[in-house]
A = this chain, B = another copy of it.
C-alpha cells in the first residue's frame, strides 16, 4: 500500500510551477539543498486518490501538472466537488492547523504532485517567520477558489454554469482545448444531474460552442462561452 514517491532533482525545481514562492526558493545553496531533500514527487493516474477526508494531515501537496478534485459530502450523503486544483495550486493546507484533512482529493487526469511534511513546514516557519506571508497568501488563494466555485458554478441556469466551468478549464492552457470531466463529475461540480450535464454538452457541441472527437477533451469557442456565461 501507499504511493511511491521519489526524490526531487534540481531539474524538477526548474520546471516547478510554483518556484516564484519564497517559501520554496531558499536563500543560499545549502538551504536549497535542505529544501530539496524535504520534498518528494509522485504521479497519480486518473481516479487515483491522494488522500481521504479524515486521514491524518501529515503532508502538503503542490500540483505540478494535472487536475485534482476536492470532494466534500453533505449531511444527506450527496457528493459535491468543492474545488479543482491545477498546476501551481497547493492542497492539504488544512493540515497546518493540526486537523485531519476535511476533504477527499482525487486525480481527475494524470497528475504529478510534489509533497512536503507539514511538520517540516511548521518547523521551517519557526526559524523563518517572515515566510508566513507566503503561507497566508496560499490560504487566501484557497479561500478565493472556494468562493469562485460557490458563486460561479452553483448559480444561474445549467447552461450558464457549464459555460463557466468550461472557461475555468481552458484558462491557464495555451490552446483553447480543455480537459473534459465525465458527465457524473460535471454534475457534482455544478450541482446538476449527469443527464442535464450530458444534454448541455451535446447542445453546445451541436451549436459549435465546443468541438472535438474525443470524449475527454474538447476545443472551446471562448467568445461564445463568455457570452453564455454572463447570461
Cβ-defined contact, A150 with B143, below 8 A: no
* Chain A binding surface, main DSSP class: helix
A98/B147 contact (C-beta < 8 A), A76-B231, A154-B191 known:
no
**Docked CA distance A231–B76 (Å):** 7
Contact among B99, B151, B154 with A72 in the assembled complex (CB-CB below 8 Å): B151
A74/B136 contact (C-beta < 8 A), A143-B94, A147-B82 known:
no
What's the nearest-Cβ distance from chain B to residue A141, in Å?
8
Copies of this chain, tallied across the complex: 2
Cβ-defined contact, B151 with A82, below 8 A: yes
- Chain B residue with minimal CB distance to A137? B97
Cβ-defined contact, A229 with B156, below 8 A: no
A152 within 8 A of B: yes
Q: Is the interface on chain A under 10, 10 to 19, 20 to 34, or 35 or more residues?
A: 35 or more
Q: Using an 8 Å CB-CB cutoff, how does the interface string of A98-109 with B read, 1 for contact, 0 for none?
A: 110011000000
Residue numbers in B under 8 Å from A9 (CB-CB): none
Residue numbers in B under 8 Å from A160 (CB-CB): 76
**Docked CA distance A136–B57 (Å):** 14
A146 within 8 A of B: yes
Cβ-defined contact, B75 with A230, below 8 A: yes
**Docked CA distance A155–B229 (Å):** 21
- Chain B residue with minimal CB distance to A229? B75
Contact among B97, B133, B150 with A80 in the assembled complex (CB-CB below 8 Å): B150
- A74-B156, A150-B150 given; name 4 further pairs at CB < 8 Å: A76-B156, A78-B156, A96-B140, A129-B132
A-B contact pairs, 28 of them (CB 8 A): A74-B152, A74-B156, A75-B164, A76-B229, A78-B155, A78-B156, A82-B150, A93-B140, A94-B140, A96-B133, A96-B140, A97-B140, A98-B133, A99-B137, A99-B140, A125-B129, A125-B132, A126-B130, A129-B129, A135-B136, A136-B139, A139-B143, A142-B143, A149-B150, A150-B154, A154-B154, A154-B155, A154-B191
| Chain A contact residues, CB within 8 Å of chain B | 72-76, 78, 80, 82, 93-94, 96-99, 102-103, 122, 125-126, 129-130, 132-133, 135-137, 139-140, 142-144, 146-147, 149-152, 154-156, 160, 164, 191, 229-231
